Each structure stands twice: as C-alpha cells, then as structure tokens.
Amino acid sequence: MNRLETDILVIGAGAAGMGAAICAANSGVSVIVVERNPDAGGILNQCIHNGFGLHYFKKEFTGPEFAYQLYSKTKESGIQFLFNHFLLQLDLKNKTAIFASEEGIKLIACKALIYTAGARERPFGSLLIPGDRVSGIFTAGVAQRLTNIENRLPGTKALILGSGDIGLIMARRLTLEGVEVVAVCERMPYPGGLARNIDQCLKDFGIPLLLSTTVTEVRGDGRLREVITSSLDENYNIIEGTQRSWSVDTLVLSVGLVPSTTPIMDYFSIDGKSRGVIVDNCMRTDKDWIFSAGNCVIIYDLVDYVTYQGEMAGRSAVNYIKNGNNPARYPIKKGNGVGVINCSYYVENSDLELYIRVNKPKEKAKLVVRSDNTIIYEGKPSAFIPSEMVRVKIKAEKIDDSFKKSSLVTEIIDL
C-alpha cells in the first residue's frame, strides 16, 4: 500500500480541476491531481468543435486545444498528476483519500481537498420509455466519443431526443459524417441549448426541431428500427392522435447532465434535487477543508466558467491552509424565476460571483439580489433563456453595506 502526502489534493483533471491546481500551485503549495482517465482534459478531449476559451483565454479553441492550454500551464507549475486512479473512499478523520490504481491501493493525505469530478449523462433507463430492448440507443456523449475519438459511426439514420448543446452539436457532426438526422425532439416548449447552436447546428443544415415533443416508444428486433414520438400539452401530457413513426436505426439522447457525486455523497452535503455538491461562494463544502467546483456542483453552459470556479476553489483551499479561518456564511435562496444557482451560501466579507439559470424564458426581465427588502444588486432589463447562464459579480463592500446577516435572495422580476 503506497502513501503520499501533499498540501492540496485535486480529484478530477478536467477544466475545473486543472484551473484549481494551477491557481493553488502558483501560490506556492504542493498539489497532486488524481484522474481516473489516462490523460487530462475530461470531456474536452472529445469535443472537437470550436467555441471554447473566448472568455478565459480571449481566443477561440476546440475542446482538445482548450485542455492542452490548461495542461501546459500545469507543467509550468510543478503539479503532479496521477492517472488511471479511481477514488474508493475518503477518510475524513485523517484527511486522506484512498484510490485504486494499477500499482495497488494508494493513500493520499492532504491538508485540503478539491473535488472536481464533473458530470455524467442521464441514461435511457431513467426516461421510462416503453418498448423493446434494442441496440442503437446512445447518449450524446457516447455517440460523440464513438465518432470523434474511435472513428466509428453509431448508425446510418438517427433521431435525437433533447435539444441540449451536446445533442445539437452531434446533430451537425453526424450529418457531416453522412448520417441522416431526421429531427431533434424537445419535450419542453423551448430549446435546451444555446441559441448559437440552434442556428449553426440545426438551421444551417435544415434539421427540424420539434418542440413539445418526446419519444413514447422504441421498437426493434435486436437493433432499433422504429421510434414513436408524440406531442405534449402544456402539462407535458401526451396529446392523443399526435403519434408519429420514424424509421431510424439510431436514437441519440441529449436529456441532460447529472453532477457526478455518487462516490462522495456520504461524506459531505449534496443537493437532493440537482445532486450537485452544496458549496458557498468560496467553493467550500460543509467540511471546512473540502472544496468543490465545476459541473459536479451545477451544470454550466461554458467551460470558461467551469475553469473560473476551479480557480476560486484553488484560491480558497490555499487560504484555508495558510490562514485556517472559518468565517460565517449565510444562505443564498432562489426566488421567483430562478431555476439553478451556483452557490448556496455567502461568506461574509467576500466578493460574490453568481451563475444563474432562469427556470423558463423571459422576454423582458431583470435579475435582482436582495437582503430582506434591501436591493444589493439590480441588473439591466434583458431577455433570459434557461440554456444561457447569467454571470453576476458583486463586490464585498456593496454587499456588507446593506446585508442583514440573514440571507440573500436572487429573483427574476418580469417587466
């Protein structure tokens, strides 16, 4: 049994993990990054389309290029990477993580831990769609890996369920590779992906987007041969008589991501609804020495934001090691119109950076952050859609001047 020691241990070598590691190492502490895959970058390595890095690097990269830029920075900082290591359990009392590796069981003791394990896709079984047990049904991420990394097409004629960004991007990718994409179906009355992806991945290729539509049955003998879709009413109930048959051999699912928190859900608090790690605005969990960032907290729309939050976790972990302070923190509550928010607590005397998704489209509204009846932040009137996050930065002095030491409330006010 091998044993290592480090100041900061980062679990996960994606954008959040590398951002956290770089920030921490540049502050003079020792850092070990543990990754279950054989290389760094996470999901970025199979996202060969461009559009990454415009915020963080001020340049446009593909996913692998973005990952390479970050990984290059880690080499400059003396960060140690351990690949092909799987987390088994945490020893909270001794601040130790236990991993399985090709060399056997490995124990890594640390002064602070940062969990950045990303997210997983919702599987077909969670959708409760009746039908035959057939092959030819893939999550969008699996279809992406087959096409972009393994050079294998999932099928010849496909229907995509869900208009999340990865599903939209795969509609374009499969079309370019010669697969006929008959339609993208979305159960909500509005798209789930970014507007730019709707334009560039569907409209530019003449792929229809069917809103308020879902898959209600799959049929086939061994391999998928038919998918039945139905229209939904405003309560998401099937409208009888709207069933439509599609002759396809492939069904691609882009039905959302779930924070990857199963390995650690017994060690610190997890949101019961989103399954994300509950953190404050400094990315600290309810264990003062454990921090978390990235898609294992909430699902972000841009990898740039994931990297920013990783850096925040790195700074906070270093601050904990050097100062050991445990400041008071107060709840941040979701008010009207807010569907997802990136942190659940505000640490007093700190800057607040919020990432917010609305729960439904708004043609004209404004974001307000308040403490009781005192408005701390008021955004400009604008349109909001659930697929695009709102990023808000509020300085500590602006909060503390009017903060009632009880809670903060974020809400979307219709205009």
- Pair (116, 149) in one structural domain: no
- Pair (264, 297) in one structural domain: yes
Question: 240 Cβ partners below 8 Å, 6+ apart?
Answer: none
- Pair (111, 136) in one structural domain: no
Helix (H, G, I), strand (E, B) or coil at 217: strand
- Pair (28, 106) in one structural domain: yes
Helix (H, G, I), strand (E, B) or coil at 158: strand
Q: What residue ranges of the chain have pLDDT lower than 50?
A: none
Q: Are 98 and 105 in contact (CB under 8 A)?
A: yes
**Domain with 133 in it:** 123-255
pLDDT at 308: 97
- Pair (3, 96) in one structural domain: yes
pLDDT at 63: 96
Question: 374 Cβ partners below 8 Å, 6+ apart?
Answer: 402, 404
Torsion region of 305: left, alpha or beta (phi above 0 gives left; psi -120 to 50 gives alpha): alpha
CA distance 116 to 314: 11
Q: Which two tokens stand for residue 43?
A: 């999901």
pLDDT at 326: 76
Q: pLDDT tens digits, residue range 88-137?
A: 999 999 999 999 999 999 999 999 999 999 999 999 999 999 999 999 99
- Pair (229, 377) in one structural domain: no
- Pair (320, 334) in one structural domain: no
- Token match 């790690």: residue? 277
Task: Examine the fold and report which residue of 300, 326, 352 is the final residue of a domain before the chain moves on.
Answer: 326
In 270-388, where do the E strands start and end?
290-292, 329-334, 338-341, 345-347, 352-358, 362-371, 374-378, 382-384
Helix (H, G, I), strand (E, B) or coil at 78: coil
pLDDT at 161: 98
Give the containing element (helix H, strand E) for 413.
Answer: strand 408-414
Total number of domains constituting the chain? 3
Of 226, 225, 211, the C-alpha closest to 161 is: 211
The helix, strand and coil proportions of the chain, stated in percent and rounded to the nearest 5, come to: 25, 40, 40
Task: Examine the fold and report which residue of 296, 311, 326 is the final residue of a domain before the chain moves on.
Answer: 326
Residue 306 belongs to domain with CATH number = 3.50.50.60
Task: Examine the fold and report which residue of 219, 235, 255 is the final residue of a domain before the chain moves on.
Answer: 255
CA distance 316 to 308: 13
Q: Which two tokens stand for residue 134?
A: 């057939």
- Pair (3, 117) in one structural domain: yes
Q: How many CB atoms lie within 10 A of CB 218?
A: 22
pLDDT at 405: 79
- Pair (168, 231) in one structural domain: yes
- Pair (110, 161) in one structural domain: no
pTM above 0.85, yes or no: yes
- Pair (14, 60) in one structural domain: yes
Helix (H, G, I), strand (E, B) or coil at 174: helix
Question: 112 Cβ partners below 8 Å, 6+ apart?
Answer: 7, 8, 9, 289, 290, 291, 317, 318, 320, 321
- Pair (113, 2) in one structural domain: yes
